[in-house]
Chain A
């Protein structure tokens, strides 16, 4: 028989102790950011749990990838072949354009842009927490991931690395409420800042004057200012411009180009150690970005 009156500290005392701990944790983690290194260790500590939680989904994916009929595979193969031809053709053009661009830049005595090293990553888990938009990927410090590294999918910018674990790391998405990214309008080079709104399909542009030339459907690309994101990758497309003169600034919303709600494979870009692109599929990103 268990004792009805429990011994030891009373629940109220325990609660107070625990609440004090929480407040201290929140303060040190949020205000002082003193847990950055500890977070990395904790992240690698819980990564087995994440791998295990991901197992059912992985099994489903494996099954759906294995149970396909021959017809489908052949069609897919055909599509890939066509795409490859297409990209090869684009790459041939690209190399000559790049050479020309490099020559022009050297004529203008501005620095030649180096190649960007890319790393492939797969999504491990998505946070169910509605207040923060983050995903976990299967690359960590062992693979050379570093904090602040830009992440993109095949359409555009996804976000940047927030915490690095040993074998997994955490990506903060551009739609997170605490994230902002410097962009420019591709059409006319107007500079804006795209802040996350906490909603997956909306970025907000604050402090844009009414006179700014922004139209619905404009593509916004990274401006390269701030040094975090390399220049020229697509970020979002303007979906709403409301010029309400009674307000101080124009209301502008845009929708991320990357499919943030159905991410699976991603690319990590790193600035240093320029290397030659290995396959046409990696150069595709530069084609999209620089065009």
Chain B
């Protein structure tokens, strides 16, 4: 993973982790996009031989520790979402950026629903529609993250 400037991948993932825990006002917080998922999906599409389900699982695990949820919940959801990308990466690569954004939206919704389902299973949380607000921001964010990370990948020649 670290050959050919691979540490840049790790750096982007760390930045994504930080972005997902920076303190925000409560009203903005409900719309916080799934930074880690977006970045993971990009690297899975671009370099599926470097970033795979294990990376996703480890990232989800760190997220679990950072968010204080039951260990394994986010890890499980993240691995499931990334699995879909890993299996279909050649198809998803050929879509236009906005079509990709919609797919990311579906993945993000699936991620949130799996997390909710597991939490529901563990404690009696109730579903509120604003648990799915991040999906909207994730869809809007994808093209920009995609363009930015592509530039990063080409600039540092990560292969």
A binding-site residues for B, Cβ under 8 Å: 2-4, 6, 11-12, 14-15, 18-19, 21-26, 29-30, 35, 39, 42-43, 45-46, 49-50, 52-54, 56-57, 123, 125-132, 134, 136, 162-163, 170, 177-178, 198, 200, 261
List residues 13-70 of chain B with CB under 8 A from any CB of chain A: 14, 17-24, 26, 29-30, 32, 47-49, 52-54, 57, 61-62, 65-70
| Interface Cβ pair total, 8 Å cutoff | 133
A-chain residues with CB within 8 Å of residue B118 when the two chains form the complex: 26
Selected from B18, B21, B122, B159, the residue in CB contact (under 8 A) with A30 is B122
User: Are the C-beta atoms of B53 and A131 separated by less than 8 Å?
Assistant: no
Bound state CA distance, A53 and B66, in angstroms?
11
B-chain residues with CB within 8 Å of residue A3 when the two chains form the complex: 49
User: Are the C-beta atoms of A49 and B14 separated by less than 8 Å?
Assistant: yes
B86 CB to nearest A CB, Å: 5
* A25-B75, A128-B67 given; A198·B53 CB < 8 A: no
User: Are the C-beta atoms of A19 and B14 separated by less than 8 Å?
Assistant: no
Total residues of chain B contacting the partner, CB 8 A: 52
Selected from B62, B72, B115, the residue in CB contact (under 8 A) with A25 is B72
Interface of A is mostly: helix
User: What would 14 A/B residue contacts be, using CB atoms closer than 8 Å?
Assistant: A15-B53, A15-B83, A25-B75, A26-B73, A49-B18, A125-B21, A127-B67, A128-B21, A128-B67, A129-B67, A130-B30, A134-B67, A134-B68, A198-B126
B binding-site residues for A, Cβ under 8 Å: 14, 17-24, 26, 29-30, 32, 47-49, 52-54, 57, 61-62, 65-73, 75-76, 79-80, 83, 86-87, 90, 115-116, 118-119, 122-126, 128, 130-131, 159
